[in-house]
């Protein structure tokens, strides 16, 4: 699918646009190597096999008059398609371009990295416009909020959260966002090999809270076709983020995305509790050690008394090993809930985590990968229906 289209006879700009898109942005690029612009958008859609792209880039080396006229038609008839202009622009041309509906103007000599950012933000704008075009139904939409929790650290919670996000992203491209709410020492950026320009600190500002387009501009696009909102780079910034801001942020994201995956800090801090109140699904992670299992039991007891347990709950036994001296039966008896998925220890998962590439993003497979896929399947609509119909079957730890 050609998500991005370039109309220009300039081969150098085409190569830089390929470098900006390939392997970094979801969807393909179609280059129409001509200076002749179509009279109507439908002519372009027909050339693309009936597919409507997200972003159309006009120029360089095309008629500016023709480009502005075509941009006007797109803005009036197809506002969900972002039109960019590649031209040497002065202030007058910039103003004229914006008035005709051009989303952005870039220099013909723009570097791929800068062009990638512009294209990413254009895609974000088109996704928002398409949702708005649906009307009142879209306004009532609320995506599933999936929180990943653990009373203690070191159990692979972030590894699980990032793989869940990547796995769900395969079924809902650009419809998944992962939020790192371990505000002091979050590792989502590391787990996804990202160096984000913006973080949660930016996303809870007044401007972002009042405008979803501003909020989406603070998200980082991952090559797997998901968005990430990473923890602050400075742990001190965590003190300025309130539980009220966290709750509002998650509600806002749930209106824009099919799935919101929330990786939380260990324990039951105020921001974690605020996130839990917004969750439709709660995933609790534990290892096969007595302190961790007892801590999980205490956490679930407290949350039950507070009435904060989501309706859909899942217990994942991570880094499972039959040689620890504990059995699944022991863990279930202590915690008081069944273990839903057992993820065995895996060198492949550890290796992928250290590389910053979630194992569900790669083609390599082992038993742990299959178990992580089972967690993702439980969260998909079809998988959730199957889980409601079937009784619990005790997992096996080898």
Whether residue 390 has pLDDT greater than 50: no
Per-residue pLDDT reduced to its tens digit, 295-318 = 999 999 999 988 888 888 999 999
Q: Are residues 101 and 181 in the same domain?
A: no
Last-in-domain residue among 105, 136, 167: 136
Q: Are residues 121 and 160 in the same domain?
A: no
Q: Are residues 67 and 169 in the same domain?
A: no
pTM of the model: 0.66
pLDDT of 362: 84
Domain membership of residue 376 (yes or no) is yes
Residue 379 sits in a domain whose CATH number is 3.40.50.300
Q: Check residue 380 and report its DSSP letter.
A: S
Q: Are residues 334 and 248 in the same domain?
A: yes
Per-residue pLDDT reduced to its tens digit, 185-210 = 999 999 999 999 899 999 999 888 88
Q: What percent of the chain has pLDDT over 90?
A: 60
- The residue segments making up the domain with residue 67 are 2-136
Domain membership of residue 216 (yes or no) is yes
In the structure, what pLDDT confidence band is assigned to residue 134 with cuts at 50, 70 and 90?
low
Residue that wins the pLDDT comparison between 342 and 393:
342
* Half-sphere exposure (Cβ direction) of 250: Cα atoms closer than 13 Å: 28
Give yes or no for a contact between 335 and 297, defined as CB atoms under 8 angstroms apart. Answer: yes
Number of domains observed in the structure of the chain = 2
Q: Are residues 351 and 219 in the same domain?
A: yes
Q: Which residues contact 382 (CB under 8 A, 6 or more apart)?
A: none
- Residue 284 φ then ψ, to 5°: -105, 135
Q: Which residues contact 107 (CB under 8 A, 6 or more apart)?
A: 86, 88, 89
Question: In the chain, which ranges are E strands?
Answer: 2-7, 28-32, 55-58, 82-86, 104-106, 144-149, 176-181, 220-222, 226-229, 259-264, 281-286, 312-320, 341-344
In the structure, what pLDDT confidence band is assigned to residue 171 with cuts at 50, 70 and 90?
confident
Domain membership of residue 398 (yes or no) is no
Domain membership of residue 396 (yes or no) is no
Q: Which residues contact 372 (CB under 8 A, 6 or more apart)?
A: 160, 163, 164, 167, 343, 349, 359, 360
Tokens representing 195? Answer: 């160096």
CA distance 281 to 284: 10
Q: Are residues 196 and 340 in the same domain?
A: yes
Domain membership of residue 385 (yes or no) is yes
Residue that wins the pLDDT comparison between 93 and 2:
93
Residue 73 sits in a domain whose CATH number is 3.40.50.2300
In the structure, what pLDDT confidence band is assigned to residue 381 with cuts at 50, 70 and 90?
confident
Mean pLDDT of the region 93-107: 85
Domain membership of residue 394 (yes or no) is no
Sheet holding 28-32, edge to edge: 28-32, 2-7, 55-58, 82-86, 104-106
Domain membership of residue 146 (yes or no) is yes
Domain membership of residue 397 (yes or no) is no
pLDDT of 384: 52
Mean pLDDT of the region 237-262: 94
CA-to-CA separations, 330 to 119, 297, 314, 394, in angstroms, rounded = 52, 12, 17, 12
Per-residue pLDDT reduced to its tens digit, 7-29 = 999 999 999 999 999 878 888 89
Mean pLDDT of the region 64-90: 90
């Amino acid at each position: 699918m050609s998500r991005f289209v370039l109309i220009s006879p300039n081969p150098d700009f085409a190569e830089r646009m390929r470098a900006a898109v390939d392997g970094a942005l979801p969807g393909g690029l179609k280059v129409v190597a001509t200076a002749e612009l179509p009279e109507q958008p439908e002519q372009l859609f027909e050339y693309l096999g009936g597919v409507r792209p997200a972003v159309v880039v006009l120029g360089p080396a095309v008629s500016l008059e023709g480009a502005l006229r075509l941009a006007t038609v797109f803005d009036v008839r197809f506002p969900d398609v972002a039109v960019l202009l590649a031209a040497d622009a002065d202030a007058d041309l910039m103003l004229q371009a914006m008035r005709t509906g051009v989303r952005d103007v870039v220099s013909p000599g723009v570097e791929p990295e800068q062009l990638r950012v512009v294209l990413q933000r254009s895609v974000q704008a088109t996704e928002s416009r398409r949702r708005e075009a649906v009307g009142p139904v879209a306004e009532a939409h609320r995506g599933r909020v999936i929180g990943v929790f653990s009373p203690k650290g070191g159990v692979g919670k972030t590894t699980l959260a990032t793989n869940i996000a990547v796995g769900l992203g395969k079924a809902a491209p650009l419809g998944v966002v992962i939020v790192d709410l371990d505000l002091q020492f979050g590792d989502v950026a590391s787990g996804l090999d990202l160096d984000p320009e913006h973080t949660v600190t930016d996303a809870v500002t007044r401007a972002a809270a009042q405008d979803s387009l501003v909020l989406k501009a603070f998200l980082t696009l991952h090559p797997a076709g998901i968005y990430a909102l990473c923890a602050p780079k400075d742990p001190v910034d965590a003190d300025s983020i309130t539980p009220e801001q966290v709750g509002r942020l998650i509600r806002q994201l749930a209106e824009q995305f099919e799935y919101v995956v929330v990786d939380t800090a260990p324990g039951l801090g105020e921001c974690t509790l605020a996130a839990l109140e917004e969750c439709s699904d709660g995933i609790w992670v534990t290892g096969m050690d007595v302190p961790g299992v007892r801590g999980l039991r205490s956490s679930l007891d407290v949350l039950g008394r507070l009435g904060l347990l989501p309706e859909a709950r899942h217990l994942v036994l991570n880094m499972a090993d039959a040689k620890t001296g504990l059995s699944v039966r022991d863990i279930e008896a202590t915690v008081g809930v069944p273990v839903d998925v057992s993820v065995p220890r895996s060198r492949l998962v550890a290796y992928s985590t250290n590389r910053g590439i979630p194992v569900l993003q790669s083609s390599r497979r082992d038993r742990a990968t299959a178990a992580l896929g089972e967690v993702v399947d439980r969260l998909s609509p079809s998988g959730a229906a199957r889980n409601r119909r079937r009784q619990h079957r005790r997992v096996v730890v080898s």
